[in-house]
Amino acid sequence: MSSWGYVFLAYGIVWSTLLLYLFSLKRRFRRAQREVAQLSSAEELQKHAQK
């Protein structure tokens, strides 16, 4: 492999791994946001039912 080959291999692995981590973090983040919203609406419903 040429020296540029090693350079592109390293840059490719680093940036694709960081992008994958960022996307997985965003996915987990959105899932948690949805869950918080669901809990809030369930709590609202419960409050209305108690009234």
Summarize as ranges the residues that interact with another protein (CB under 8 A): 1, 3-4, 6-7, 9-11, 13-14, 17-18, 21-22, 25-26, 28-29, 32-33, 35-36, 39, 42-43, 46
C-alpha–C-alpha distance, residues 13 and 19, integer Å: 10
As measured in angstroms, the least distance from the Cβ of 12 to another protein is 10
Which residue's CB is nearer to another protein, number 43 or number 49? 43
State how far Cα 16 lies from the chain centre.
15
Instruction: Using alpha carbons only, give the angle 24, 28, 38 rounded to the nearest 5 degrees.
Output: 155
Which residue's CB is nearer to another protein, number 46 or number 48? 46
Helix intervals (H) in the chain? 3-50
